[in-house]
């Protein structure tokens, strides 16, 4: 065991793939049970997610949100903190983005608004994470409980602000005025059109690039800075960290600020990139899905990108599936997502030992 | 594999379009509460089910689960030549606005909101009038001169219900107390019977003996609490008198089913028109419900004064203030 090593591709590629296949197999049984052809359903799912330009665009658009929230959950997890508040932090981050856009859209060009909005979203998201972080670090209130509660407070605050202050007069729905075009993040299909690349009409926008940059930032921060080392030490063994002279409370607060800022960037994609106005419920559960993405991605940026793409594909392909086959309700699509999480998260070790043993034996032979 | 998928997808589309080729290709997009929400969306569902039964024309249904999917599905339906496309609920306003601009030849109808484009028909209801009526009835039935209102999510539309209700109560009993509570601040507030029941009990303990729930599925809990404590409750959107017979004083009905039915009928007869259609008491868009389940609770005297108030609202003698007109309930 000590000499023979399992090839890396088995651990990062084969086992996750195997688990996903199992999940799809279990989903196939569900489809058979409701009397639908699983092959046809899988066809729609794959075709919807990857089969045409627009579908790919939507998959990547969903993935953008999930990369942000996945990174947010993951970075806190590195310090041993379970940030369940991505939803609320994304919500308030969106508020920050929206306020910047509403404020400057008629006076500044996009080149200035975009960085301001990104800073606004990150600041608001971080501020929302600060209070639970402070309570955890200085008062010992458990972060899981406080961040969950802050999701509800965020939601109430947004409704109050939207209904009483930011709503456009004379409209039934609580939605702000539409931003001037100078505050719209460009769509990738618009950017790529002059280069002769036809992407179809999808909401995929520049925020996707921002998400990828955040992955690089995450990788550099966690593994290539002194602070990242402190962070990982606190997460692995807080007592040892303290003994080594690391201020655990300070690391806790800072990592939650970064986590909140990352979650807040969902607002850049949703508010500035797609909706072009401030509205309610744009987070749509991405904060919670981010937890699954972080777990599946094994808290590594590359893994998170892949897991986000998988979930993005399930969102988009699932939407396509529910659209094409009316008997398949959106709830069935949630079942498929649940099975994927179950098999690749909770039941991850079911076959891991056997597959690894197989490769170890082969390496020994 | 991909080729086969594409082929089967295309074959499916072709098969479906040829089936309706001679007729209209109507479609409905429900909002995120889903079509079986026991209230608003289900009203539309009932309307179109009736239509399909009467005419044999199948209606394509779609239930998007987030903002992005709303626009995506509207766009997909438009691209495939469906028309008219009915969008259910105010949450779809901006999506309809965008998609309708891109597909000027496709007809859209949006319920509960207004989109001012040449190919969009907007259907809105005068919920304040219906709420005024049931408020008046609540005041007549109340012995404590204290009545309650339980809203779902705290949004202008629900405040509109509350404001109309309050005016109706005060019209009959000027010094009556109206206790108002909202269930919550997220969409889940429309589907939280437990909290509805808690709020109702709290209002009963403050002296209320009639409570109006404009809260979708949350109302089920309110009605149960009213039954348990021997008080009266008022239903909303669909006629919910049958839910707790003997407890339900009446229901404020909003005829979304009739509205949806009419849209398709108009499309079939080629009389569909863009523009804003406001359905109120006068055209039966809103009303109070009287049937075998609640007639024991309504005396002839009450019936007479309700008819009187209704006539006065229709003639304009009573003008009911609309919360939406100035975002306040000053009247």
- Of A81, A167, A160, A154, nearest to A124 (Cα)? A154
Q: Which residue of B has its CA nearest to A156?
A: B185
Which residues of A touch chain B, with CB atoms under 8 Å apart?
A: 40, 43-44, 46-47, 51, 58, 61-62, 155-156, 158-160, 163, 167, 169-175, 178, 201, 203, 270, 274-275, 277, 279, 281-282, 284-285, 319, 322-324, 326, 329-330, 333
What is the arithmetic mean of pLDDT over B276-292?
91
Least CA distance to B6: which residue of chain A? A47
**pLDDT > 60? residue B273:** yes
Tell me: do A226 and A341 sit in the same domain.
Answer: no
The three-class DSSP label of residue A34 is coil
B52 — contact with chain A (CB < 8 Å)?
A: no
Cβ distance B152 to B204 under 8 Å?
no
Is ipTM > 0.85 here?
A: no
CA A130 and chain centroid, separation: 20
Q: In whole angstroms, how large is the CA radius of gyration of chain B?
A: 21
* Contact flag A284-B67 (C-beta cutoff 8 Å): yes
- The tens place of each residue's pLDDT in chain A, 365 residues long, gives 445 677 778 777 788 888 888 998 999 999 999 888 999 999 999 999 998 888 999 999 999 999 999 999 999 999 999 999 999 999 999 999 999 999 999 999 999 999 999 999 999 999 999 999 999 999 999 999 999 999 999 999 998 898 888 888 766 678 888 899 999 999 998 888 888 777 778 889 999 999 999 999 999 999 999 999 999 999 999 999 999 999 999 999 999 999 999 999 999 999 999 989 998 889 888 999 999 899 888 889 999 999 999 999 999 999 889 888 888 888 888 898 889 888 887 777 778 888 888 888 887 77
Return the closest-CA partner of residue A118 out of A326, A269, A10, A342: A269
Query: B155 vs A330: CB contact, 8 Å cut-off?
Result: no
User: Cα-flanking dihedrals φ and ψ of residue B175, to 5°?
Assistant: -100, 15
Nearest chain A alpha carbon to B110: A172
Q: Which of B76, B64, B70 is nearest to A330 (CA)?
A: B64
Q: Which of B3, B5, B30, B110 to mutate to test the interface with A (most CBs of A within 10 A)?
A: B5
What was the pLDDT predicted at A3?
53
Q: A76 with A111, same domain?
A: yes
- Phi, psi (rounded to 5 degrees) for B147: -130, 160
Domain limits for position A242: 59-325
Q: Do A201 and B75 touch (CB under 8 A)?
A: yes
- Is residue B57 packed enough to be buried (19+ CB in 10 Å), middle (13-18) or exposed (0-12)? middle
Could you tell me if A154 and A267 lie in one domain?
A: yes
The secondary element (H helix, E strand) that includes residue B286 is strand B286-288
Question: Measured between alpha carbons, how far is B48 from B263 in angstroms, rounded to an integer?
Answer: 10
Residues A69, A201, single domain; the answer is yes
DSSP-based three-state secondary structure for A230: helix
By CA distance, what is A55's nearest residue in B? B72
User: Does some domain include residue A77?
Assistant: yes
* Domain shared by A179 and A312, yes or no: yes
Residue A42 falls inside a structural domain: no
Question: A323: which chain B residues are within 8 Å (Cβ-Cβ)?
Answer: 62, 73, 76
Residues A219 and A145 in one domain: yes
Chain B's closest residue to A329, CA to CA, is B63
Which residue bears the tokens 């991405």?
Answer: A286
B62 Cβ under 8 Å from any chain A Cβ: yes
End-to-end CA distance of chain B: 66
Q: Does domain B127-254+299-326 have CATH number 3.40.50.300?
A: no
**Burial category of B331 from C-beta neighbours within 10 Å (exposed 0-12, middle 13-18, buried 19 and up):** middle
pLDDT digits (tens, 9 = 90+) for B96-153: 998 999 999 999 999 988 899 999 999 999 999 999 999 999 999 999 999 999 998 8
B282 vs B1, which has greater pLDDT? B282
């992955």: which residue's tokens?
Answer: A215
Average pLDDT, chain B: 88
Using a CB-CB distance cutoff of 8 angstroms, which residues of chain B are in contact with residue A98?
none
Q: Do A262 and A332 lie in a common domain?
A: no
The answer to whether residues A217 and A76 belong to one domain is yes
Across B1-15, B59-73, B125-139, B215-229, least confident range: B1-15
Q: In B136-176, which ranges are E strands?
A: 146-153
Q: Do both A340 and A215 map to the same domain?
A: no
CATH of the domain at A217: 1.10.3470
Which residues of chain A neighbour B62 with C-beta distances below 8 Å?
A: 322-323
CATH 3.40.50.2300 range(s) for chain B read 16-125+257-279, 127-254+299-326
pLDDT score for A172: 65
SS3 of B330, please? coil
CA B180 to chain A, closest CA, distance in angstroms equals 17
pLDDT at position B12: 46
- Provide the shortest C-alpha distance from residue A169 to chain B (in Å): 8
Q: How many domains does chain A have?
A: 2
pTM over 0.90: no
CATH of segment(s) B16-125+257-279 = 3.40.50.2300
Q: Do B156 and A279 touch (CB under 8 A)?
A: no
Nearest chain B residue (CA) to A158: B185
Q: Which residues of B touch A171 (CB under 8 A)?
A: 93, 113-114
> The tokens of A197 are what?
């690349």
Which of 122-161 (B) contact A at CB < 8 A?
A: 124, 153-157
Residue B52 has pLDDT above 90, yes or no: yes
Give the model confidence (pLDDT) of B65-110 as tens digits.
Answer: 877 888 889 999 999 999 999 999 888 888 899 899 999 999 999 9
φ and ψ at residue B83, rounded to 5 degrees: -170, 135
Q: Is the pLDDT of residue B1 over 50?
A: no
Rounded to whole angstroms, the Cα distance separating B196 from B153 reads 12
Query: Which of A73, A95, A86, A266 lies closest to A166 in space, CA to CA?
Result: A95
Residue A43 covered by a domain = no
Indicate the angle between helix axes A207-224 and A301-324, nearest 10 degrees. 150
Task: Name the pLDDT band for B19 (thresholds 50, 70, 90).
Answer: very low
Residues 8-27 of B with CB under 8 A from A: 8-9, 12
CA distance A348 to A346: 6
Are the C-beta atoms of A259 and A75 separated by less than 8 Å?
A: yes
Shared-domain flag, residues A302 and A353:
no
How far away is chain A from the Cα of B245, in angstroms, using its nearest Cα? 32
Name the closest residue on chain A to residue B67, using Cα atoms.
A282
Contact A330 B65 (CB under 8 A): yes
Q: Do residues A362 and A288 share a domain?
A: no
Instruction: Evaluate whether B30 touches B44 at the Cβ level (below 8 Å).
Output: yes
Distance CA B82, CA B94 (A): 19
Rounded to a whole number, what is the distance in Å from the CA of A339 to chain B's nearest CA? Answer: 19
Question: Two tokens at A335?
Answer: 């079942």
Length of chain A: 365
Contact B327 A46 (CB under 8 A): no
> What's the pLDDT band for B197 if we cut at 50, 70, 90?
very high
Strand B210-214 relative to strand B146-153, pairing: parallel
DSSP code, position B121: E
Same-domain pairing of A281 and A332: no
């Amino acid at each position: 065991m000590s000499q023979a090593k399992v090839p890396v591709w088995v651990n990062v590629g084969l086992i996750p793939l195997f688990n996903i296949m199992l999940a799809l197999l279990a989903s196939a049984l569900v489809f058979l049970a409701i009397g639908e052809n699983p092959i046809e359903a899988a066809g729609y799912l794959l075709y919807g997610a990857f089969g045409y330009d627009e579908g790919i665009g939507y998959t990547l658009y969903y993935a953008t949100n999930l990369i942000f929230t996945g990174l947010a959950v993951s970075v806190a997890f590195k310090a041993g903190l379970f940030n369940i508040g991505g939803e609320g932090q994304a919500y308030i981050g969106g508020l920050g983005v929206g306020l910047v856009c509403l404020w400057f859209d008629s006076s500044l060009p996009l080149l200035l608004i975009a960085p301001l909005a990104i800073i606004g979203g990150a600041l608001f998201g971080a501020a929302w994470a600060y209070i639970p972080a402070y309570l955890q670090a200085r008062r010992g209130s458990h972060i899981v409980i406080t961040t969950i509660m802050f999701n509800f407070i965020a939601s109430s605050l947004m409704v109050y602000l939207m209904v009483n202050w930011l709503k456009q007069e004379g409209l039934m729905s609580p939605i702000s005025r539409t931003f001037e075009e100078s505050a719209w993040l460009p769509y990738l299909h618009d950017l790529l059109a002059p280069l002769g690349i036809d992407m179809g009409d999808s909401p995929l926008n520049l925020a996707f690039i921002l998400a990828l940059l955040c992955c690089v930032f995450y990788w550099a921060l966690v593994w290539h800075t002194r602070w990242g080392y402190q962070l990982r030490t606190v997460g692995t063994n807080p007592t040892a960290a303290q003994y080594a002279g690391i201020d655990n409370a300070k690391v806790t607060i800072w990592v939650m600020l970064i986590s909140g800022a990352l979650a807040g960037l969902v607002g850049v994609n949703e508010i500035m990139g797609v909706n072009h106005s401030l509205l309610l419920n744009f987070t749509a559960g991405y904060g919670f899905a981010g937890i699954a993405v972080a777990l599946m991605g094994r808290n590594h940026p590359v893994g998170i990108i892949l897991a986000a793409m998988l979930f993005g594909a399930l969102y988009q392909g699932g939407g396509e599936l529910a659209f094409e086959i009316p008997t398949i309700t959106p709830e069935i699509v949630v079942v498929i997502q649940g099975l994927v999480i179950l098999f690749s998260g909770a039941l991850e070790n079911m076959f891991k030992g056997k597959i690894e043993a197989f490769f170890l034996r082969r390496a020994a032979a | 594999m991909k080729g086969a998928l594409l082929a089967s997808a295309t074959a499916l589309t072709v098969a479906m379009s040829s089936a309706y080729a001679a007729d209209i290709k109507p479609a409905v997009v429900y909002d995120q509460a889903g079509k079986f929400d026991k209230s608003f969306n289900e009203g539309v569902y009932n309307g179109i089910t009736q239509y399909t039964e009467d005419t044999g024309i199948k209606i394509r249904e779609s239930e998007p689960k987030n903002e992005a999917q709303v626009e995506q599905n509207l766009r997909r339906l438009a691209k495939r030549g469906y028309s008219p496309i009915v969008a259910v609920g105010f949450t779809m306003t901006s999506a309809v606005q965008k998609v309708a601009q891109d597909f000027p030849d496709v007809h859209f109808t949006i319920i509960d909101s207004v989109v001012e484009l040449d190919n969009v028909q907007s259907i809105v209801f005068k919920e304040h009038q219906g709420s005024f009526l049931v408020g008046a009835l609540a005041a007549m039935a109340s012995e404590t001169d204290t009545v309650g209102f339980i809203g779902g999510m705290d949004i202008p539309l629900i405040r509109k219900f509350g404001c109309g209700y309050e005016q109706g109560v005060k019209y009959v009993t000027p010094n009556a107390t109206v206790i108002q509570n909202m269930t919550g601040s997220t969409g889940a507030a429309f589907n939280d019977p437990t909290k509805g029941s808690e709020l109702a009990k709290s209002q009963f303990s403050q002296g209320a003996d009639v409570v109006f729930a404009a809260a979708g599925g949350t109302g089920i809990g309110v009605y149960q609490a009213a039954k348990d404590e021997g008080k009266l409750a008022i239903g909303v959107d669909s006629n919910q008198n049958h839910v707790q017979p003997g407890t339900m004083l009446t229901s404020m009905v909003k005829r979304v089913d009739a509205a949806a039915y009419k849209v398709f009928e108009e499309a079939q007869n080629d009389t569909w028109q863009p523009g804003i259609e406001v359905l109120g008491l006068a055209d039966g868009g809103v009303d109070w419900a009287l049937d075998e389940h609640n007639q024991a609770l309504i005396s002839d005297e009450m019936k007479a004064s309700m008819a009187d108030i209704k006539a006065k609202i229709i003639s304009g003698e009573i003008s009911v203030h609309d919360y939406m007109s100035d975002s306040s309930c000053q009247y």
